[in-house]
Amino acid sequence: MRRLLLALALALLAAAVALPAAAEELRGLIDALGRGTFADREKAIAALAGSGEPAAAPVIEALGAGNLYVRTGDGAVLLARGSALVDPLTNAAAGSVSDSGIERIRVNNRLRRAIDAALGSLTLLSPDPATRLEAAAAVFKSRDPGALPTLEKALAAETNPEVAAALGEARAAALLFSDASEAEKLEAVKVIRARGDREALSLLGMVAAQGPGPVADAASSGVRAIERVLAVWEAGQNVWYGLSLGSVLLLAAIGLAITFGVMGVINMAHGEMVMLGAYTTFVVQEAIRSTAPWLFDASLLVALPLAFLVAGAVGIAIERGIIRFLYGRPLETLLATWGLSLILQQGVRSIFGPTNREVGAPSWMSGWFEIGHLTITHNRLWIIAFALLVFAGLSLVLRRTSFGLQMRAVVQNRNMASAMGIRTPWIDALTFGLGSSIAGIAGVALSQIDNVSPNLGQGYIIDSFMVVVFGGVGNLWGTLFGAAALGIVNKFLEPYAGAVLGKILVLVFIIIFIQKRPRGLFALKGRAVEA
């Protein structure tokens, strides 16, 4: 029993002596950050990170943030909290940053990389998987060979497959820039090659540039393989961007396809219906912000029916007040609707002002995710889904309702439809109103990806006409195909020709195409007795 008590006493005594010694050693490592050149500070950062002490991470973070100071009198390194200085180990007050003899410890870009690597190695053993994943990513970017011992320890203890893969990639990156054997580096090249993203491509490119040898040759082969894979993914990304643009064009053009197809009216004010829908969204969001901010996520659901009604009412008023007197006179119709578009733009400027208006995105439309190397944003995904839903709903109306039946009868043969008792003037008015309504709800969607301003509709009117003419006037499936095709072609041309020249090339193509097929890809068929 006495021996047991004696051993316990000796252990307590050893611990009591070791604690101050460890604290003094850590303090010496911290104070080393304030001495010497940038190279000396880089070594001090590595030594401090290698200590594995929990108190090291806040000090290194403060150094990267510019909140670490040195007292020139005794060389003590102090941590800034606001304008006050504290001891980094005891948190005891140590003066102010404005005191004499206090200097900020400066860092350069090389030191910032060392700081990132040090923080990564310090958090590789964190109990939180997300923190370990971030740490592995930081070490991968820094490629610091000094983190290898910690990486090996973390890999041995890791149970999460995703984190283990990230740690393995970070270890491979560090091995490639260490004095590891050739066999280890060749294995590391395989790991980086399997990762297959642009960061891996950049890293293998640096290894390949180091000189001839088996490792450099393997890295060069990896670069070529990754470039081939990324080219396929880039083509897929362009297709996604094209479909996204195509959904926007579909929303803007689908109402025009109905109006133009039924009545043959060249409506240059169609873009302003889109604008009215966007401003309706703005008004709804402002009302919700001021009265019921907790309903903001539902603001678009409130704005959709209101935009449908507002744009539809304006469209019917235009048809009843102007368009019905100009049937059969396309030039006068074009000039009248162009003048009307200017009036609507100026009216909006007078009410809301000429500057862009802020329309916020609900939380469910914010953010993004990745599929392989494809980046998918939530707002674009929702707009594509919304465009397809509008297309399906409109197709259902045209094929399953009496109004749709009468509309199709007027499209195929106006005189015969009138002889059968269909009130063609009212069909014209309701059709024009429906086309305008769809443009209005298109404005709700476009307010999430474009500036809400009086000129919003002008950016889509020409593209809308191109989609309608290319797909086939009055044909919804032609409009869908035309919007998708033109969107994808635009996105594939932009990297090579630029956005403006790309649009010009598309326009030239459509002009040539219309010379061969004047009625578009999917022309409507009918008796056309009135012709």
- d(CA 218, CA 228) in angstroms, rounded, equals 16
Place of tokens 């290194």: 60
How much is the average pLDDT of 128-137?
Answer: 83
pLDDT band for 3, please (50, 70, 90 cuts). low
pLDDT band for 527, please (50, 70, 90 cuts). very low
Nearest to 52 by CA among 3, 125, 105, 2: 125
- Radius of gyration from C-alpha coordinates of the chain: 34
How much is the average pLDDT of 377-394?
Answer: 88
Lowest model confidence (mean pLDDT) among 1-10, 179-188, 267-276? 1-10
Lowest model confidence (mean pLDDT) among 171-180, 238-247, 308-317, 522-531? 522-531
CB 431 within 8 A of CB 255: no
- d(CA 153, CA 151) in angstroms, rounded, equals 5
pLDDT at res. 120: 66
Lowest model confidence (mean pLDDT) among 109-123, 200-214, 366-380? 109-123
The predicted-structure confidence for 295-342, as pLDDT tens digits, reads as follows 888 889 999 999 999 999 999 999 888 888 887 787 888 888 889 999
pLDDT at res. 19: 38
Please determine, for residue 500, whether its predicted confidence score (pLDDT) is greater than 60.
yes
pLDDT at res. 334: 84
pLDDT at res. 46: 77
Nearest to 358 by CA among 290, 458, 447, 252: 447
How much is the average pLDDT of 266-284?
Answer: 90
- d(CA 34, CA 48) in angstroms, rounded, equals 13
Type of residue at 354: P
507 Cβ neighbours under 8 A, 6+ residues apart = 466
Mean pLDDT of the chain: 81
- d(CA 362, CA 145) in angstroms, rounded, equals 45
Please determine, for residue 292, whether its predicted confidence score (pLDDT) is greater than 60.
yes
Lowest model confidence (mean pLDDT) among 50-59, 250-259, 342-351? 50-59
CB 31 within 8 A of CB 13: no
pLDDT at res. 346: 92
pLDDT at res. 307: 93
Q: For the chain, list the domains and their CATH numbers.
A: 25-111 (no CATH), 123-211 (no CATH), 233-368+376-530 (1.10.3470)
Backbone angles phi and psi of 103, in degrees to 5: -130, 140
Backbone angles phi and psi of 178, in degrees to 5: -115, -175
pLDDT at res. 7: 46
pLDDT band for 523, please (50, 70, 90 cuts). low
> Sign of the C-alpha dihedral, residues 367, 271, 481, 413?
positive
pLDDT band for 89, please (50, 70, 90 cuts). confident
The predicted-structure confidence for 425-483, as pLDDT tens digits, reads as follows 888 888 888 888 998 998 898 888 888 888 888 877 888 888 888 877 667 788 888 88
How much is the average pLDDT of 201-223?
Answer: 86
Tell me the percentage of the chain whose pLDDT exceeds 90. 9
Please determine, for residue 205, whether its predicted confidence score (pLDDT) is greater than 70.
yes
Backbone angles phi and psi of 72, in degrees to 5: -65, -25
- d(CA 380, CA 147) in angstroms, rounded, equals 40
pLDDT at res. 15: 38
pLDDT at res. 242: 85
Question: What are the helix (H) ranges across 123-213?
Answer: 129-142, 148-157, 161-176, 182-195, 198-208
- d(CA 486, CA 520) in angstroms, rounded, equals 13
pLDDT at res. 2: 53
pLDDT at res. 303: 92
pLDDT band for 119, please (50, 70, 90 cuts). confident
Please determine, for residue 383, whether its predicted confidence score (pLDDT) is greater than 70.
yes
Please determine, for residue 12, whether its predicted confidence score (pLDDT) is greater than 70.
no
Tell me the percentage of the chain whose pLDDT exceeds 70. 90
pLDDT band for 529, please (50, 70, 90 cuts). very low
pLDDT at res. 305: 92
Residue 220 CB burial class (10 angstroms; 0-12, 13-18, ≥19) = middle
- d(CA 337, CA 331) in angstroms, rounded, equals 10
The predicted-structure confidence for 165-190, as pLDDT tens digits, reads as follows 988 888 888 888 888 888 888 898 89
How much is the average pLDDT of 343-360?
Answer: 89
Lowest model confidence (mean pLDDT) among 19-23, 47-51, 399-403? 19-23
Higher pLDDT, 70 or 7: 70
pLDDT band for 250, please (50, 70, 90 cuts). confident
178: left (phi over 0), alpha (psi -120 to 50) or beta: beta
